[in-house]
């Protein structure tokens, strides 16, 4: 009688698991899809793109059309940083023909995306033109230091030969400080990864990035201490980053 009771208990447990496990997985998958849509990256940079997100047991497939090649990577890095995501199959396609590598159009896109993630420059107020590898910046900056930083960041993009900064320095009227929009950890991680990738000085670094409550931790290796310090500097200037813990080591 005791044996029969044990067997029936096992059978009941198997039945319960069979019916509840898919429901749990479904909830997790729905949460992944919803969380991705609610990230700062998707609401700010990718809002005009047609991106479909499908998740099954944490394996995510991205399909649809994006306007730029960089948006494919940005979407992938953001979703990959979400909790419970186990893998990403990126099937996103770029609308139209992508610019030829190292062409002026290619450089323009790289400079624009590089400036976009930095909080210390006014990317939305900066126009970027490129001719024969020479970057021309137009628009306005709030200080000479901000203008100089835009030049520095543009010059650090692979392939740029020279930067001509024709931005005007316009000091805005004083006003009370406002609290900026809170940026989620997944978006911060994605922005940091792409920032380090697009900057020539850090593109070859073997760096892993994790974020918790806007505190970014960098791990990996660099050739020297100067590269580690630069990775910290660039990361700290990414939108939403509160502080940086750099645990990178010298090879």
The pLDDT of 144-166, averaged and rounded, is 94
- Residue (of 45, 41, 201) closest to 232 by Cα position: 201
Q: Kindly state whether residues 108 and 83 are assigned to the same domain.
A: no
pLDDT category of residue 123 using cuts at 50, 70 and 90: confident
Does residue 156 lie in a domain region? yes
Phi-psi region of 33 (alpha: psi -120 to 50; beta: other; left: phi over 0): alpha
For residue 32, the domain's CATH number is 1.10.287
What is the C-alpha separation between 211 and 78, in angstroms, rounded?
12
CATH code, domain with 199:
3.30.1340.30
Q: Quick count: other Cβ atoms within 10 Å of Cβ 218?
A: 21
pLDDT digits (tens, 9 = 90+) for 185-234: 999 999 999 999 999 999 989 899 999 999 999 999 999 999 999 999 99
- Per-chain mean pLDDT for the chain: 88
Asked if 74 contacts 123 with a C-beta cutoff of 8 angstroms, the reply is no
Closest CA relative to residue 132, chosen from 156, 164, 97: 164
- Alpha-carbon distance of 230 to 228, in angstroms, equals 5
Q: Which residues face 218 on adjacent strands?
A: 209, 246
In a domain, 177, yes or no: no
Q: Token digits for 43?
A: 């609401």
Cα distance between residue 162 and residue 124, in whole Å: 22
Q: Are residues 86 and 137 in the same domain?
A: no
Quote the number of domains for the chain: 3
Pure H helices in the chain: 2-38, 40-44, 69-80, 104-116, 144-155, 185-198, 225-236
First to last CA, the chain: 67
The single residue listed with the structure tokens 């650090």 is: 156
> Quick check: is 10 in a domain?
yes
The answer as to whether 178 is a domain residue is no
pTM of the model: 0.82
pLDDT tens readout for residues 14-49: 444 444 445 555 888 999 999 999 999 999 999 999
Q: Give the pLDDT band (50/70/90) at residue 88.
A: very high
Domain boundary among 38, 63, 94: 94
Is 133 a domain residue? yes
- Token pair 């991205």 is found at 62
Distances from the Cα of 199 to the Cα of 160, 184, 193, angstroms? 11, 23, 10
> Of 70, 94, 118, which one is at a domain's C-terminal end?
94
Q: Is residue 176 part of a domain?
A: no
Q: Does residue 149 lie within any of the structural domains?
A: yes
- Average pLDDT of 121-149? 93
Range of the domain at 117: 104-169
Same domain, 33 and 88: yes
187 vs 171: CA distance, rounded Å: 30
- Give me the helix-helix angle, 69-80 and 2-38, nearest 10°: 140
Asked, for residue 175, whether it belongs to a domain, the answer is no
Domain boundary among 126, 142, 169: 169
């Amino acid at each position: 009688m005791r044996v029969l009771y044990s067997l029936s208990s096992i059978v009941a447990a198997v039945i319960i698991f069979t019916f509840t496990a898919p429901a749990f997985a479904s909830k997790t998958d729905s949460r992944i899809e919803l969380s991705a849509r609610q990230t700062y990256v998707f609401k700010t940079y990718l809002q005009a793109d047609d991106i479909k997100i499908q998740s099954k047991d944490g394996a995510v497939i991205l399909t649809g059309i994006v306007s730029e090649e960089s948006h494919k990577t940005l979407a992938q890095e953001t979703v990959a940083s979400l909790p419970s995501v186990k893998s990403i199959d990126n099937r996103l396609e770029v609308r139209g023909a992508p610019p030829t590598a190292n062409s002026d159009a290619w450089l323009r896109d790289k400079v624009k995306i590089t400036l976009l993630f930095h909080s210390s420059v006014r990317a939305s107020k900066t126009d970027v033109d490129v001719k024969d590898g020479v970057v021309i910046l137009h628009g306005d900056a709030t200080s000479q230091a901000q203008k100089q930083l835009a030049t520095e960041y543009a010059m650090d993009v692979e392939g740029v030969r020279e930067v001509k900064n024709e931005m005007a320095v316009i000091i805005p009227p004083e006003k009370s400080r406002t609290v900026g929009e809170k940026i989620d950890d997944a978006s911060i991680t994605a922005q940091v990864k792409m920032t380090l990738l697009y900057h020539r000085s850090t593109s070859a670094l073997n760096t892993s990035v994790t974020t918790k409550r806007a505190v970014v931790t960098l791990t990996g290796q660099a050739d020297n201490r100067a590269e580690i310090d630069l990775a910290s500097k660039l990361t700290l200037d990414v939108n939403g980053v509160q502080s940086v813990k750099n645990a990178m080591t010298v090879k």
